[in-house]
Structure formats: C-alpha cells, structure tokens
C-alpha cells in the first residue's frame, strides 16, 4: 500500500432553486437531444419522402461522417492548425464522403432496383449497411477514434448550478439552421418545388416533364451528405467506434415515424417531442428513460398511424 | 545414350531420392501432436477495441512465446507439455445463438482441445451448458458474472479471472479509505446485466461499509447511448461528491468528453471500475484524481515481478502500447490452462479433457497479474488480490500513472467458497479478511 496523494473531497453543494433549475435543465437537455435527433433524421426522412426508400444504410453515412471527421480533426491537430479550421475541415470531409457514398450507392445499386417491392429495397439497404460496416473496419480498423478538440475548445457557460457546453449550443444552432434551410429550399427554390411535386406524385411529376431520375439521384446524395454531416458534428461529443451507426438508425426511425415518414417538419417535431420527453424522464424518473422514446412513438402511432405530419395521399384510379 | 536408357536412369534416380527421403523421415522421431485452441473474443463491434483486440493480442503473443519455449519458468516448456499450440481465432460478435453455434463448430467440427474466450457475460452464460453437454474444456477469460459457478456445479468450465463482485467491493473500500467525509454518491451504469450487477454490488458494499452515506442519483442509460447531456445535467444538479461507473469503451469515452466539457469532474470524484482500459488512449483527457480499477491487479496495478515485466515487454514490443487488463486476463487464462495440461500429462502423452479438468481444479499459480487460487466454484473459479489507485497524468514524462495504490487480498473482496456473491454482500461481507 502507498499513500499520501489523497485528493480533497469536493464539498457537498447546496443546490438551490431546484424546481426552476430542473425545468431549465430539462428544456436545455431536451433541445440538445432534439438537435442531435433532427440532424441524424433529416436525411433519412428526405430520402423516404422522395424515393419511398427506408434507407437502413443511413446509419453507415453517419458512421462514415464521424470517422471522416475524426480523421480530419486528427490531421489538423497534428499540423497544429486552429480548432476552428479543424471544425470546418471535418464538415468538408463529411460532405465529401456523403457525396461519394451517395453517388456510388444510388448509381451503383439503388437505380437497378427502383420499382421493386419496398421490402426488397429495405433489405438491400440493410445489406449495404452490413457491407459498409466491414468497409469501415477495413479502412479504420477496430480501434476507437476521438475528435473532442472542437467541443473542449468551445468552452462552457455557467447558469446557476448548471454548466452548459457551448458546443451543444452550436449543435442546436446547426439543427435550427438545417431546419430553416430545408424549409426555405422546399418552399422558395425551383428545385424545392420540383422535389415537392415528386414527393406528391412521382408519375404526375414525370408526366409534367420533370427528370425524376435526376431528382432521385440528387436527393439521395443530399440525404447521404446530411447523414455524414450528422456523424461529423456528433464526432466531437462521442467516441468514434465500430457500431455507432446501428444506434442512429433506430433513433432516426423512431423520430421519422413519429413525425410522419417523409416529412421534414414532422422530423423536427418528432425530435423535439422525443428530446424533451427523454430529458424529463432522465431528470425525474430515470428508470423509464429507455421506455420513453418508444412509448412516445407507440402513443403517436396509435392516435395517428401515419405520424403527425403525414400529407394527404392523392387517390389514384 | 538412347532415350529409353535416359528415362530409366532418371527414373531410378528419382526413386532413390524418394526412398532416401522416406528413410530419413522414418528415422526422425514422430512429431509431437499439436494442441488446438479456439480463441474467442470480440474482433469487431464496440467491444473489440477495449476488450476483444487486447485479449486476442494477449493470446497471440503468449502462444508465440510458449511455442518458442521462451516464456519464463515455470512456463518454459514448449507449447503445452512439449506440443506446439495451434490457435484458431473466432469473432465473438453476433447473437448469443450465433456464439453458441460457433462454439459448437470449434468443438465438434474443428476438434479443438480447449476453447478460451468470451467477454460478454451473456455469451458465457449461453456457452456454459453447451460446454458441459459436449464435455468441452472451456476457459472464460473476461466475462464477470458470478452466476456461472453459483447456479450449478461445473465439470469442464473454468475461469481464472476473478468475477466482478471483487471489482465493486474493492471500489467501495477504496473510495471510503480515500474520501473520509463522503456523505452522498451517485451512479451511472449501462442498462444491462453488467451495469446493473456492478451497481448492485457497489451499493451493497457501501451500505455495509458506510451505512450513513446516501445514494443520490441512479442513472442507467441504454448501452452505447452515445449522448449523455441529460445525465450530466442531472449529476451537475445533484449533491453527490462521488460517481460510480462501470462504463467501458465508447460509452466511457463519450461520457468523459461530454462531462469534461461541462466540468462535472470538478464537482465529484469519479470511480471507474474498468477505467484502466482507457488510460493509454485518453491520457491527459482522463480527469486527474479519478479512481481507477482494472478488474484485478492488472496493467499498471500489477506488481513489479519478473513474469509481469516479461509480459509487458513482449506485448509492448509487438503492439507499441502497454497491455491492458483483458490482455492480462487472457495471458493468465492461457498460462493456467498450460499448467493444468502439464499437471495432467503422463509420459509426454496428450492428456484427455477429463484429466486436464482434474488438473485445473483447485490449481494455484503465479502469473503476470499475481497469484491465482482456483478456490471458488468447487475449484473452477479463480480469485486473486486486487488493487485500486488514483489517476495522475505525469506532465513531465507525458505518461499516465496510477498512484496511491491500495491492494486488497483476495479474501478481503471475494466471498468465501460456497457463498453466493450477492448474499455475501447483503449479509455484511462476513469472513472478509482485509
């Protein structure tokens, strides 16, 4: 036995204003978790909305984005570049990875199976997901990677007894920016209107002369980019390790199902509902934290089987 | 010379060469039979990096050393009893049903003499009845559940590494020894058997050792949750002075990154029962003053002995990183099996599985992590001393260190033979000799 290095015990703190503080903590934690969910779900719901493909490989886009981000942050750190440069570089790397994966998968595999049964396409994306998991092992090996520098460098702010990470605030801002950009793009740009037409009815859109195949390709690439971007912005918060894509698919699916498959405003609402409910559960009844996400999903689907924001389907004769 | 004559001449020469070679071969002694070992560990998935790969690497390096006869005494006989070891490495990833199928393949199709492996307690529980059914000699190297030998007597299953109860009893003892004025603590553990059992044992030990200290927040996020913002807020707004966690790998690292960004470690002392697996990766990112466990006296908590220095050197030379506790557990398991094999061996013949099992039962030996006594589970479950320490990153050498180490004898932190771990804790840890 050796001795002498006993560190002083942190003193017992008097936690004041606990109800207000807890409510504030639930709100902030809920927003941060909702931001995370929305960022990972937006690409998945976009692809489903346009292409009617439940893309299981979305988890791989997230994982590739996270690995790419960790690599980018590592390179910048090795060259002694500022953390802000590292952050921008990791975004660029993730976007590039998303573009490459999107093109390869859509042009190389999915275009060959358009028109097949939706279940078959889900199985194909699941197969792609499994293959990409192995590709990750081949490229980066089985070890974990860290990209925490941007989060540590962002610092924190203290509000009462609560300390908030500035990086979390940035994450909420990114999610809000993505939501606003998606809304503006769909409502006020030419491509957005074309997309809305294809979402509404593919055959009618084609009959009006819209190049549906091109819309599919572009949408899938954007979806893949968003998936990879989700992984990249989360990489500083997590240990980038094998299997991170699996968790994301399940969560993203829950959010998309609550909001309505293919609805971006639905994904935002679903993310907020799940985020706040989960944060409240962790603070107030931690035993039901696991149950809450899927409990909310089940409740919503019982009341509205197609989700909160599903659009009316045109009747076809 | 004519063509037929040439043909005959070359034919006769060829026959002579073949005959000479055959005669030479006949004069050599018969090659010793190889010992076939199945090594099962996570080679992919989230548990590969912290446990599976170090365990596999530990097996590879020790088997190489044993096969070359370069291990220190008493392990210096080549391979197992003079027979070279032939290892087959199998991935533990997949469902329990898949793991059982792979186990059957190793035993029935590949005719392995023994199987060493398994990180997941769920997989150990699934494999145990099959190993008994097939009479397959099996050594679990990392899984921690005490249930394996408490539920039923086993004949062919062994575990050299101590079970997980020791980790949490020792953690409670260390925390109370170092933090005399502790009034309240919390816990964050993964919501499955490992996390639940770890917390149960820790709280049980704390209730026995310091009944007035209260439990504050009890958090069980799902396995591989990744995002811990709400949990960190909950802990920040608590009055706890210490936090117990059995998190590992991605969960441990993600939690540390997120809590550090919000300064949780400045408010409470962290107790990480498996923290040793992360020190070489996290380095100065691991909070100073964290209480670190290594599931036994492994890694930096191992005693400075000749065999430990040997193991550290061969491992570090090959993999450019010091061995962490899964590598130690694998090495201890292999060395234990080797001694059991050689104890059972008569006249250099290959012993049967039953003979090896008899040799293994109640075995005592000293490996890189110290002395092992197979005294629990009717001689099938090992106990060792354990140790806890405090994390310090040496800014001068830029190397992680564990300081302020306290060692606990096996009899202090393990139940006596024949007593179930949770009952032993609940009944006040009677008979503990510290």
Query: pLDDT tens across A69-97, in order?
Result: 999 999 998 999 999 999 999 999 999 99
Helix H or strand E encompassing B395: none
Mutate to test the interface with B, among A62, A142, A161 (most CBs of B within 10 A): A142
Confidence of residue B223 (pLDDT cuts 50, 70, 90): confident
Cβ of B226 within 8 Å of Cβ of A238? The answer is: yes
The SS3 of residue B273 is coil
CA B242, CA B272: separation in Å to the nearest integer? 11
Half-sphere exposure of A194 (CA within 13 A, CB side): 16
Using alpha carbons, select from A174, A139, A182 the residue that is nearest to residue A44.
A182
Residue B64 has a CB neighbour count (10 Å cut-off) of 15
Residue B7 pLDDT: 43
Is the pLDDT at A103 greater than 60? The verdict is: yes
In chain B, how long is the greatest CA-to-CA distance?
A: 106
| Confidence at A203, pLDDT banded by 50, 70, 90 | confident
What is the reported pLDDT for B9?
54
Residues B29, A119 contacting (CB under 8 angstroms): no
Query: Of A131-135, B12-16, B268-272, B350-354, where does mean pLDDT reach its minimum?
Result: B12-16
- Confidence band of B225 (pLDDT split at 50, 70, 90): confident
Contact B405 A1 (CB under 8 A): yes
Complex prediction ipTM: 0.86
Q: What is the mean pLDDT of residues B114-120?
A: 96
Nearest to B178 by CA among A11, A1, A9, A2: A9
| Rounded distance between C-alpha atoms, residue B21 and residue B8, angstroms | 20
Q: How confident is the model at residue A1, as a pLDDT? A: 35
Contacts B254 to A, Cβ<8 Å: 237-239
Would you give the end-to-end CA distance of chain B in angstroms? 92
Determine the pLDDT at residue B8: 45
Select from A63, A65, A17, A37 the least CA-distant residue to A225: A65
B12 confidence band (pLDDT: 50, 70, 90)? very low
CA closest to A25 among chain B residues: B233
Cβ distance A244 to B226 less than 8 Å, yes or no, reads yes
Choice between B74 and B3, residue whose per-residue pLDDT is larger: B74
Q: Specify the pLDDT at position A8.
A: 52
What superfamily would CATH give domain B165-294+385-426? Response regulator (3.40.50.2300)
Residue B47 has pLDDT above 90, yes or no: no
Facing B184 at nearest CB: one of A1, A12, A286: A12
d(CA A159, CA A163) in angstroms, rounded, equals: 6
Mean pLDDT throughout B49-61? 93
User: Does residue B243 register a pLDDT over 70?
Assistant: yes
**pLDDT over 80 at A174, yes or no:** yes
Contacts with A241 from chain B: Cβ below 8 Å: 46, 49, 249-250, 253
Residue range B344-352: average pLDDT? 91
For residue B196, the chain A residue with the least C-alpha distance is A287
- Return the pLDDT at B249: 80
A-B C-beta contacts closer than 8 Å: 185
Instruction: Identify the pLDDT of residue B315.
Output: 97
Query: What's the pLDDT band for A289 if we cut at 50, 70, 90?
Result: confident
Strand duo B399-408 + B386-394: pairing: antiparallel
Pick from B218, B258, B404: CB nearest A5 = B404
Across the range A194-205, mean pLDDT stands at 86
- Angle, to 10 degrees, between the axis of helix A212-234 and the axis of helix A244-259? 120
CB half-sphere exposure, A74, CA atoms < 13 A: 11
Number of CB atoms found within 10 A of residue A181's CB: 11
Nearest to B49 among A9, A142, A168 (CB): A142
Q: Which residue out of B225, B237, B412 would a mutagenesis test of the A interface target, given it has the greatest number of A Cβ atoms within 10 Å?
A: B237
pTM of the model: 0.85
- pLDDT tops 70 at residue B70: yes
Distance CA B236, CA B156 (A): 48
Provide mean pLDDT across the span A195-215: 89
To the nearest whole percent, how much of chain B has pLDDT over 70? 93
* Angle formed at CA B124 by CA B341 and CA B429, multiple of 5 degrees: 90
Cβ neighbourhood burial of A271 (10 Å; 0-12, 13-18, 19+) = buried
pLDDT of residue A9: 54
Task: Answer yes or no: is pLDDT of A2 > 50.
Answer: no
The H or E element spanning position B403 is strand B399-408
Cβ distance of A242 and B45 shorter than 8 Å: yes
Q: Name the minimum distance, in Å, from the CA of A306 to any CA of chain B.
A: 27
CATH code of domain B35-163+304-383: 3.40.50.2300
Q: Which of A107, A98, A101 is nearest to A225 (CA)?
A: A98
For chain B, give the percent of residues with pLDDT over 90. Answer: 78
Q: Which residues in B lie closer than 8 A to residue A163 (C-beta atoms)?
A: 236, 262-264
Residues in chain A within 8 Å Cβ distance of B262? 156, 163-165
Query: Which residue in the set A3, A163, A278 is minimally distant from B262, CB to CB?
Result: A163
Residue of chain B with shortest Cα separation from A167: B261
Of B261, B266, B289, the CB nearest to A151: B261
Q: Would you state the pLDDT for residue A18?
A: 78
The pLDDT-based confidence of B175 (bands split at 50, 70, 90) is very high
> pLDDT band at residue B15, thresholds of 50, 70 and 90?
very low
Contact residues, chain B, for A237 at CB < 8 Å: 226-227, 254, 257-258
A25-303: which CATH topology? ABC transporter involved in vitamin B12 uptake, BtuC (1.10.3470)
Average pLDDT, chain B: 91
More confident residue, B344 or A198: B344
Distance from CA of A168 to the nearest CA of B (A): 9
| pLDDT score recorded for residue A96 | 97
Burial B273-292 (b: 16+ CB within 10 A, else e): bbbbbbbbbbeeebbebbbb
For residue A244, pLDDT over 50 is answered with yes
CB contact under 8 A, A152 and B261: yes
Tell me which residue has tokens 């069980």.
Answer: B220
Of B52, B229, B261, the CB nearest to A156: B261
Q: Which residue has the tokens 């391979």?
A: B79
Ranking A88-92, A165-169, A307-311, B358-362 by mean pLDDT, the lowest is A307-311
Tens digit of pLDDT for each residue in B82-105?
A: 999 999 999 998 889 999 999 999
Instruction: Give the tens place of pLDDT for each residue, B379-414.
Output: 999 999 999 999 999 999 999 999 999 999 999 999
**Chain B partners within 8 Å of A239 (Cβ):** 249-254, 257
- Section B62-73 average pLDDT: 96
pLDDT at A14 over 80: no
pLDDT of residue A3: 36
Cα–Cα distance, B157 to B160 (Å, whole number):
10
Residue spans of the domains in chain A: they are 25-303
CA–CA–CA angle B229, B230, B236 (5° rounding): 90
Residue A312, token pair as written in the block:
């009316």
Average pLDDT over residues B303-323: 96
Contacts of B213 in chain A (CB under 8 A): none
Task: Kindly state the average pLDDT of the residues A301-312.
Answer: 84
pLDDT the model gives residue A11: 53
Alpha helices (H) along B275-394: 279-282, 306-319, 325-344, 353-360
List of chain B residues whose C-beta atoms are within 8 Å of the C-beta of residue A15: 237-239
The two beta strands, B291-293 and B85-91, are: unpaired
Q: Quick one: pLDDT at residue B31? A: 56
B403 and A2 within 8 Å at the Cβ level: the answer is yes
CA-derived radius of gyration, chain B: 25
pLDDT at A260 over 50: yes
Interchain pair B230, A3: CB under 8 A: no
Q: Which residues pair with A145 in a beta bridge?
A: A240
User: Can you give the pLDDT at residue B45?
Assistant: 78
What contacts B123, CB < 8 A, 6 or more positions away? B92, B96, B99, B143
Average pLDDT for residues B60-74, to the nearest whole number? 96
pLDDT band at A269 (very low <50, low <70, confident <90, very high): very high
């Amino acid at each position: 036995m050796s001795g002498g290095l006993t560190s002083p015990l942190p003193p017992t703190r008097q936690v004041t204003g606990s109800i207000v503080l807890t409510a504030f903590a639930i709100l902030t934690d809920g927003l941060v978790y909702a931001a995370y969910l929305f960022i990972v779900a937006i690409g998945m719901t976009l692809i489903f909305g346009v292409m009617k493909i439940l893309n299981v490989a979305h988890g791989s886009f997230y994982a590739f984005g996270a690995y790419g981000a960790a690599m980018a942050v590592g390179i910048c750190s090795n060259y002694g570049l500022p953390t802000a440069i590292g952050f921008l570089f990791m975004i660029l790397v993730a976007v590039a990875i998303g573009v490459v994966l999107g093109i390869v998968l859509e042009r190389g595999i999915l275009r060959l199976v358009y028109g097949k049964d939706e279940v078959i396409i889900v199985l194909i994306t699941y197969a792609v997901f499994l293959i990409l998991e192995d590709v990750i092992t081949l490229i980066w090996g089985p070890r974990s990677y860290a990209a925490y520098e941007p989060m540590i460098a962002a610092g924190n702010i203290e509000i009462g007894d609560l300390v908030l990470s500035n990086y979390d605030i940035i994450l909420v801002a990114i999610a809000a920016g993505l939501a606003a950009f998606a809304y503006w793009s769909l409502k006020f740009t030419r491509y957005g209107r074309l997309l809305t037409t294809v979402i509404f009815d593919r055959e009618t859109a084609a009959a009006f002369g819209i190049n549906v195949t091109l819309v599919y390709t572009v949408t899938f690439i954007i979806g893949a980019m968003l998936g990879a971007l989700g992984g990249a912005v989360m990489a500083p918060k997590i240990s980038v390790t094998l299997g991170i894509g699996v968790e994301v698919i399940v969560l993203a699916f829950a959010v998309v199902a609550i909001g309505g498959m293919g609805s971006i405003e639905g994904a935002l609402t679903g993310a907020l509902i799940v985020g706040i409910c989960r944060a409240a559960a962790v603070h107030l009844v931690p035993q039901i934290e696991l149950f809450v996400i899927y409990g909310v999903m089940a409740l919503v689907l019982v009341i509205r089987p197609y989700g909160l924001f599903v659009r009316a389907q045109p009747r076809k004769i | 010379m004519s063509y037929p004559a040439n043909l005959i001449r070359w034919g006769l020469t060829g026959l002579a060469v073949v005959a000479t070679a055959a005669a030479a071969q006949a004069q050599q002694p018969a090659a010793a039979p190889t010992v076939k070992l199945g090594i099962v560990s996570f080679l992919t998935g989230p548990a590969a990096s912290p446990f599976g790969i170090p365990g596999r690497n530990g097996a590879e390096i020790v088997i190489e050393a044993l096969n070359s006869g370069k291990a220190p005494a008493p392990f210096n006989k080549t391979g197992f009893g003079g027979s070279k070891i032939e290892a087959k490495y199998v991935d533990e990833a997949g469902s329990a049903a898949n793991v059982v199928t792979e186990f059957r393949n190793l035993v029935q199709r590949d005719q392995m003499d023994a199987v060493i492996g398994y990180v997941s307690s769920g997989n150990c529980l699934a494999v145990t009845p099959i190993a008994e059914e097939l009479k397959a000699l099996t050594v679990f190297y990392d899984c921690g559940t005490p249930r394996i030998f408490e539920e039923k007597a086993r004949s062919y299953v062994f575990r050299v590494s101590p079970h997980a109860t020791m980790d949490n009893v020792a953690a409670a003892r260390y925390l109370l020894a170092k933090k005399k004025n502790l009034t309240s603590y919390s816990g964050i553990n993964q919501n499955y058997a490992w996390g639940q059992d770890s917390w149960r044992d820790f709280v049980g030990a704390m209730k026995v050792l310091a009944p007035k200290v209260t439990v504050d927040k009890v958090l069980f996020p799902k396995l591989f949750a990744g995002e811990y913002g709400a949990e960190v807020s909950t802990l920040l707004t608590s009055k706890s002075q210490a936090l117990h966690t059995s998190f590992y790998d991605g969960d441990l690292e993600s939690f540390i990154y997120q809590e550090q960004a919000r300064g949780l470690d400045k408010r409470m002392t962290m107790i990480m029962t498996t923290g040793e697996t992360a020190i070489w990766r996290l380095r100065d990112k691991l909070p100073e003053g964290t209480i670190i466990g290594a599931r036994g006296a492994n890694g930096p908590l191992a005693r400075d002995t000749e065999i430990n220095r040997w193991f550290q050197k061969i491992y570090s030379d090959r993999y450019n990183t010091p061995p962490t506790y899964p590598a130690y557990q694998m090495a201890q398991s292999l060395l234990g099996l080797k001694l059991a094999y050689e104890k059972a061996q008569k006249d250099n013949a290959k012993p049967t599985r039953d003979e090896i099992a008899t040799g293994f039962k109640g075995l005592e030996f000293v490996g890189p992590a110290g002395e092992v006594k197979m005294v629990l589970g009717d001689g099938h479950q090992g106990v060792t001393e354990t140790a806890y320490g405090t994390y310090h990153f040496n800014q001068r050498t830029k190397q992680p260190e564990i300081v302020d180490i306290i060692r606990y004898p096996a009899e202090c932190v393990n139940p006596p033979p024949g007593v179930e771990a949770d009952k032993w804790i609940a009944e006040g840890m009677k008979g503990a000799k510290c």
